[in-house]
Amino acid sequence: MGTTKDQAELEAYKEAVRVMLGFRTREEMEDVFSRPIAQAATNRLQDALNSVREKGQADEYALALAVETEILERMNESGEDLQNLFNDPKHHNLPADDLAQKIVALWDDQAS
C-alpha cells in the first residue's frame, strides 16, 4: 500500500479525471471504467482528446468518442459496419434489435 501522500495524490488525480470527463459522481466514473470496453478505450483517449479539441468540443466528449471508436472497431472485426449508424448525421434509424443487443453486450462485456 502507498503512503497517505500517495493516496491523497491518487484521489486528486481521480477527481481531476472525473471533472475533465464530465462525470457527476465518482461512482458514475468508477462504473464506466469498470467495464472492459471503457478500459480498452483509454488507449484511444489521447487521439480522442485531440479530435474533440480540434472540433472545439469540450474534453468531456473524448471518452465517448474513444468508446465509440472501440465499439466500431470491434463490431467491424465481427463483420458489422456501423459507420453510418454512428457517424452519418442523416442516418436517423435505430439499429436492428440484434445489432443493438451486440452493442449492449459489448458494454456489458457479454460479447463472445
Mean pLDDT of 68-82: 89
pLDDT tens-digit map of 41-60: 999 999 999 999 999 999 98
- Are the C-beta atoms of residues 45 and 62 closer than 8 Å to each other? yes
pLDDT at 37: 94
**Residue 45: all three cell numbers together:** 483517449
Where residue 79 falls (left for φ over 0; alpha for ψ -120 to 50; beta otherwise) is: left
CA-based nearest residue to 49, from 28, 63, 35: 63
pTM over 0.85: no
Query: pLDDT at residue 92 above 80?
Result: no
